[in-house]
Amino acid sequence: MKLLFLNGPNLNMLGIREPDIYGRRTYGDLENYIRSFCGELGIECEIFQSNHEGALVDAIQSAYGRMDGIVMNPAAYTHTSVALLDALKTVGLPAVEVHISDVSKREDFRQVSYVRLACCKTFAGYGFEGYRMAAEFLFVERKRNQKEL
């Protein structure tokens, strides 16, 4: 199984940005965490972060025909980007939305998620563990779907 892990704007500033909300671990720590659990699960992973919406759209499009699923933390683009929604719908890969913080307990504007419309599951408020939960969900779903065939 091959998964693309996408991270949106300001996630490169983990450990610095609002540590009371996002914790003190860095983006490098997140990358190491993802690589570690993917290795344990036998999942090939590609990790990409950008502060630019178009670069994230390009990454989603590049997953078509190469990846089995997408784990995405769109960050602030969650609440604004129809382009990310359209890209996810276009490639048709199973996608899971992840947020480090529990967005349901934050500002009103964070209650809107455009990308969620193209995702089969959302994990929010679990910190880094949400990425593992998303990968395990996609892994189990893929195995289940293979058995049905």
| C-alpha dihedral sign at 141, 104, 128, 118 | positive
Can you give the length of the chain in residues?
149
Amino acid residing at 107 = E
Q: Which of 22, 77, 114, 131 is catalytic?
A: 22
C-alpha 25, offset from chain centre:
17
End-to-end Cα separation, the chain, in angstroms? 17
Which one from 77, 99, 114, 131 is the annotated catalytic residue? 99
Q: Is 99 a catalytic residue?
A: yes
**Pairwise CA distance, residues 149 & 147, whole Å:** 5
**Residue 47: enclosing H or E segment and its boundaries?**
strand 44-49
Does the CA dihedral 18-79-46-120 come out positive or negative?
positive
The first and second tokens of residue 116, run together, are: 């969620």
Which residues are catalytically annotated? 22, 99
